[in-house]
């Protein structure tokens, strides 16, 4: 039971680590255009991101697939930027199933990328243990709980800004996406591989 809390806490802190806030930036950009009435969609997006994250950790932990660390460190901020730019160019324009399908696909893919970013550290923890699968599940639960917390805060802020301060949804999405872009571009530059 002690290990359960250890890995759950580790997953929770992994998302909320202020020294590596890429998860928070990605989640903020991901749900900036959504609201509480779209909770089902929000939960699906968060869960797909977690599943992608855990799948890449499993692929790495079981030595099935290893990815160049420099490439992953470049792709992480790129994934955040793509999500924020997508918001800027689609806010109020794309509706329906095509947008949702594309968003679900990219969310899962970006979850894979972010998971590979943590795989080296996770592999050091899992080295020599025979409970990797259990560790992954416990870690995933911590990630999921932290992501739900982040998403709730973003949705709550969106609700307050749009309903109390009377920002339009379009303005909210543009401002939040621009803030995310401004915070992520330096990370991309620091990890530039070309």
Q: Where are the domains of the chain?
A: 2-190
Structure tokens at 167: 């920002």
- Reported residue count of the chain is 194
- Contact (Cβ atoms closer than 8 angstroms) between residue 132 and residue 139: no
Does this model's pTM top 0.75? My answer is yes
Q: Is the pLDDT of residue 97 over 70?
A: no
- Of 56-70, 125-139, 167-181, the poorest mean pLDDT is in 125-139
Enter the DSSP assignment of 130.
Answer: S
pLDDT at 101: 82
CB 74 within 8 A of CB 192: yes
Report the share of the chain in percent with pLDDT over 70. Answer: 96
The C-alpha R_g of the chain, in whole angstroms, comes to: 17
| The pLDDT of residue 48 | 95
For residues 83-109, average pLDDT: 83
16 pLDDT tier (thresholds 50, 70, 90): very high
Query: For residues 18 and 95, what is the distance between their CA atoms, to the nearest angstrom?
Result: 34
Instruction: Supply 100's token pair.
Output: 């949702």
Q: pLDDT value at position 121? A: 86
Give, in degrees to the nearest 5, the angle at Cα 61 between 107 and 189.
Answer: 50
pLDDT for residue 94: 61
């Amino acid at each position: 039971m002690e290990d359960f809390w250890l890995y759950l806490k580790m997953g929770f802190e992994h998302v909320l680590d202020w020294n590596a806030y890429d998860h928070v930036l990605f989640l903020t950009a991901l749900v900036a255009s959504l609201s509480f009435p779209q909770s089902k969609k929000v939960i699906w997006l968060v869960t797909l991101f977690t599943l992608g994250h855990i799948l890449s950790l499993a692929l790495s932990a079981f030595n099935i697939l290893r990815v160049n660390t420099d490439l992953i460190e470049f792709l992480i901020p790129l994934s955040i930027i793509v999500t924020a730019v997508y918001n800027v160019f689609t806010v109020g324009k794309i509706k329906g199933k095509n947008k949702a399908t594309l968003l679900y696909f990219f969310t899962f893919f970006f979850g894979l990328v972010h998971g590979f970013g943590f795989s080296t550290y996770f592999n050091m923890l899992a080295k020599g243990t025979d409970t990797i699968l259990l560790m992954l599940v416990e870690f995933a639960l911590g990630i999921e709980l932290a992501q739900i917390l982040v998403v709730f805060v973003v949705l709550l802020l969106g609700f307050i800004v749009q309903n109390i301060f009377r920002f339009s949804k379009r303005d909210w999405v543009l401002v939040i996406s621009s803030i995310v872009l401004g915070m992520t571009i330096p990370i991309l530059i620091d990890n530039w591989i070309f």
